Homo-oligomer: A and B are copies of this chain.
């Protein structure tokens, strides 16, 4: 199909499609003449993925390009491929000062031991967790850190479901895709479900009339 049809079928405006082509998010179509190229269903599927990463996942164009590159060139070995796929969706923000980071890292490693998680000390996911934990401490939100094990238990249940879904994928490409999309969209899903459940628990705690119609913010 030509770019106009790709635009109609995907709902993505032609100038936007050309922008994705220039940015390397979308692979070029097959040239059919000097000014025309032919696109196929892979482009349509890829466009859906791009929109999901940008609009639903909230990724920047640069990060979306990294995610797509990881999908297009997976390394060998299931655990390693999944690790690489996971890397693309681990956020790294430097927030804490060095002392806070060191303390927080020790706290995370303590948590890993208590949960019996098989994760090495130098895992990027340890560093990412320590960064947030240090931020919570620096803001004086010690109460959240005190309930770390409660949150970790919920995260363990979520991750067990995640990996159960990943392992059902027929091949390693599909598994890597499930890790990336499952994490990006799955984060958005969990955030939404958490808010939904919070409305319920807020109504339970703070309204006398617990009937849904009396709930001022739904």
Identify the A interface with B (CB < 8 A): 11, 48-49, 51-52, 55-56, 58, 77-80, 82-84, 86-87, 89-91, 93-95, 97, 108, 112, 115, 117-126, 128-129, 131-133, 135-136, 138-139, 141, 143-144, 147, 150-168, 178-179, 181-183, 185-207, 210-213, 215-218
Contact = CB atoms under 8 A, between A and B. Distances in A.
A124 to B, nearest CB: 7
A217 B83 contact: yes
A60 to B, nearest CB: 10
A197 B144 contact: no
Contacts of A51: 95
Contact of A194 (B94, B97, B155, B167): B155
B123 A194 contact: no
B161 A143 contact: no
B159 A198 contact: yes
A55 B155 contact: no
A95 B56 contact: yes
26 contacts: A48-B138, A48-B139, A79-B217, A82-B206, A82-B217, A83-B216, A86-B202, A90-B192, A91-B188, A91-B192, A118-B199, A120-B218, A123-B215, A126-B218, A129-B196, A135-B185, A136-B185, A136-B189, A139-B181, A139-B185, A144-B165, A152-B196, A154-B155, A155-B194, A160-B201, A163-B204
A127 to B, nearest CB: 9
A87 B198 CA distance: 12
B205 A91 contact: no
Given A132-B185, A139-B49, A161-B147, A152 B193 contact: yes
Contact of A118 (B78, B94, B188, B203): B203
A189 B191 CA distance: 11
A5 B77 CA distance: 53
Given A48-B138, A56-B95, A129-B193, A217 B86 contact: yes
A165 to B, nearest CB: 5
Contacts of A90: 192, 195
Given A90-B195, A167-B205, 13 more contacts: A80-B216, A87-B217, A117-B199, A119-B212, A123-B215, A125-B198, A132-B185, A150-B157, A153-B157, A156-B197, A157-B157, A158-B194, A190-B190
